[in-house]
Structure 1
Amino acid sequence: MKMVIAFIRHEAFEPIRGELLSLGFPSLSISEVKGSGRQKGVTERYRGAEITNYLRPKVKLETVVDDTDVQTVVDTILKHARTGAVGDGKVFVAPIEESYRIRTGESGSETLQTHSPEDLPS
């Protein structure tokens, strides 16, 4: 199992979520985060003073998938998040040693919420 963690622009989230859902990956966690990287700060004027904000808002998307599904998820994120401009974000893949479903006690890949597209509500 692997955890895919992506820091993306807000406007990229809905297309990514929609395609992952249609591919059978409905389980996502998202957080609104701020961070800095190569993207320069944005300078704004507020009451006559210039203020530069170096922390840019992003969406942090996290999902855990089987090793065989990692490239599909990463490709979907890259397809919808890439604008070609500085600040598009980053994708990280990290190993997950084990997972447990609290309700049933299931463990391992049985806990992943992967569905075939036919199983999903239309």
Structure 2
Amino acid sequence: MISHDKDEPTSIVISSYYTVHPDDRQKFIDAVVPHLAPSAQNPGSVYYVFAQDLSDPNTFHLSEGWRNQEALDIHNASAPFQTALREVMTGVRIVGRQGQRYEIAAQGAGDPPSVATGE
């Protein structure tokens, strides 16, 4: 994962998962990995992360945070993203997918609550 200033405001969050056919798992990884760093380095990218599911090796989770719609539009039109999208759409059997877009009205620290020590 490459991230920018963690204090940078995030106004758009995209959270998705993709489940791919087991025979296409490596094709999916090979298509996605080259665009991760360029996507994370786009102006307005707060974070851009793909991660393999710990309980299903054929499921991958995408989490993206963008400063604004303009930054997301630039990412979506970028050559690295368009190349990855084309490779996935033409060479990978996606057997499940769900994505959600969230527009953030307010944000604050997301630290978990303290755990009681039992003392």
Q: TM-score, normalised by structure 2?
A: 0.47
Q: TM-score, normalised by structure 1?
A: 0.46
Structure whose alpha-carbon radius of gyration is higher: 1
